[in-house]
Structure 1
């Protein structure tokens, strides 16, 4: 199962990095004589209302979709981890102020928060990434804070303080490295969640406005043809489903691999 999930993710990454190796046609190649051609040998996923090969459009749309997913995880994960680390390690008023701010954000559902931010900022790649990243910050902050609190008073940290080590080296050499495992698992699974959120915003018209759309925009463009050309929506949706399922399977395996209790077993 994990091997199959890894192959799916690897294939989609290749599609994002070198779509010309995979796609048989140009995603902008439009021909009037092949409009709404059903899936078959010539066109694996059929053609859309412009006469474009749907498979080629989905392959080229992988780049934007995966970039949104990975970039939003990096931005949201770094920001959330920094907030959680400061709150957990320094405690007192720092913890109180930062966590009350995070509590305010956590009262708003992540999708609704991303929708609100994207609506204010408007359509665009980086605006979409920022919206999705902001919605994920509270979860990363909470996880990081909990890990820091559980590690900072352990015997090996106390021993470092007792021999005169300063707080900054203790944090970077001992506390932070022993707090990252849950963050790595959450980031892995978060890529799938970010792609779902980003695709949903693109579906609503708040995503990337480009000649080659991402998967969410493809779903939005094909919804008007669902009764006459089901394949226009089906295959971008299937790509989203497969990628999210694959990264969740990999995330579960990574969680088990990093769990010290299961390693001892």
Structure 2
């Protein structure tokens, strides 16, 4: 065997191994993504059609089965007053996700409007919007939400509004930055050069491109907003018992961890899986958009 053939063989070997490693990593990433999409689809079914997946009443309590461990009848056990944990997780998905989705819609709407205004309006208007945005961003989201609830009262609606308002600053910063970048792009100048009106340029060209990151922000923010909503319910400021909700279930079960760990672990696991799934899917969408650019 010649030296050239040996050299070619030595260089091809590591290349093949690197290709195999990359391929295995891509396959693993795809499997994780599919699993996350499947979990999100399952949670959507939980929220929209809970009766399809359980036949029990989430409010029905059996005093003879207080903190009963997982079994065939109660696959995730029962809570401190004998209610089925699995059924309450399924029915609690709607109220839990409603807080997160409602908060994201509020943040998305108000943050988009303020971000476009800061990016397109005169400089003094932009400065006013951004200074107010900086004040809001100075507070941690959950702390700002608690402050708003302290002023206007608790409940699921006020909790969603509070979390939504607390999440506005991040949307404003991203949308404003994208707007400033897009408005200086060559195709925007070309559109103006062709004689298109400012309204046409804004609606057809600038806004759609400036709002492209909104999908990523909203997907990533959904997990955080849902987690914040569950945190408020855990503190008694969101959905109040006996209504099933993951945060309130955790709050009720924390005093019985030594007697029935399942009453707290499974609602916490559901919340963790949802937040992790939305984060992974959001990161994947972000990579796809960056690749297109």
Give the TM-score taking structure 2 as reference length.
0.87
1:203 aligns with 2:234: yes
Aligned residues: 262
Correspondent of 1:171 among 176, 195, 202 = 202
Q: Residue 148 of structure 1 aligns with which residue?
A: 179
- Tell which deviates more after alignment, 10-19 or 22-31: 22-31
Q: Residue 8 of structure 1 aligns with which residue?
A: 39
Equivalent pair of 2:241/2:248 in contact (CA under 8 Å) = no
Q: What CA distance in whole angstroms lies between the structure 1 residues aligned with 2:191 and 2:122?
A: 19
Equivalent pair of 1:25/1:56 in contact (CA under 8 Å) = yes
**Which deviations, in whole Å up to 9, do the C-alpha atoms of 1:128-162 show, x marking residues without a partner?**
10011011000000000000000011111112222
**Which deviations, in whole Å up to 9, do the C-alpha atoms of 1:112-140 show, x marking residues without a partner?**
10111122222211101001101100000
* Change in 2 beyond 3 A, CA 1:182/1:219: same
1:250 aligns with 2:250: no
Correspondent of 2:224 among 179, 182, 193 = 193
- Tell which deviates more after alignment, 128-137 or 166-175: 166-175
**Which deviations, in whole Å up to 9, do the C-alpha atoms of 1:2-47 show, x marking residues without a partner?**
1000000000110000111112311011111111101122211100
Give the TM-score taking structure 1 as reference length.
0.96
For structure 2, the residue ranges without an aligned partner over 5 or more in a row are 1-31
**Which deviations, in whole Å up to 9, do the C-alpha atoms of 1:41-66 show, x marking residues without a partner?**
22111001111100000110000011
1:76 aligns with 2:104: no
Correspondent of 2:247 among 212, 216, 219 = 216
Q: CA deviation at 1:230?
A: 0.8
Equivalent pair of 1:123/1:209 in contact (CA under 8 Å) = no
- Following superposition, which runs of at least 4 residues in structure 1 exceed 6 angstroms of deviation? none
Alignment of 1:121-140 (within 5 A): 121-140=152-171
SS in structure 2 at match of 1:176: helix
Q: What CA distance in whole angstroms lies between the structure 2 residues aligned with 1:120 and 1:208?
A: 17
1:25 aligns with 2:25: no
Alignment of 1:58-97 (within 5 A): 58-97=89-128
SS in structure 2 at match of 1:181: coil
Q: What CA distance in whole angstroms lies between the structure 2 residues aligned with 1:124 and 1:169?
A: 42
- Tell which deviates more after alignment, 205-214 or 135-144: 205-214
1:102 aligns with 2:133: yes
Equivalent pair of 1:114/1:131 in contact (CA under 8 Å) = yes
For structure 1, the residue ranges without an aligned partner over 5 or more in a row are none
Q: Over the residues paired in the alignment, what is the CA RMSD in angstroms?
A: 1.2
Q: What CA distance in whole angstroms lies between the structure 1 residues aligned with 2:199 and 2:251?
A: 49
Equivalent pair of 2:58/2:244 in contact (CA under 8 Å) = no
1:235 aligns with 2:266: yes
Equivalent pair of 1:5/1:246 in contact (CA under 8 Å) = yes
**Which deviations, in whole Å up to 9, do the C-alpha atoms of 1:179-205 show, x marking residues without a partner?**
122211010010000011111111111
Equivalent pair of 1:257/1:263 in contact (CA under 8 Å) = yes
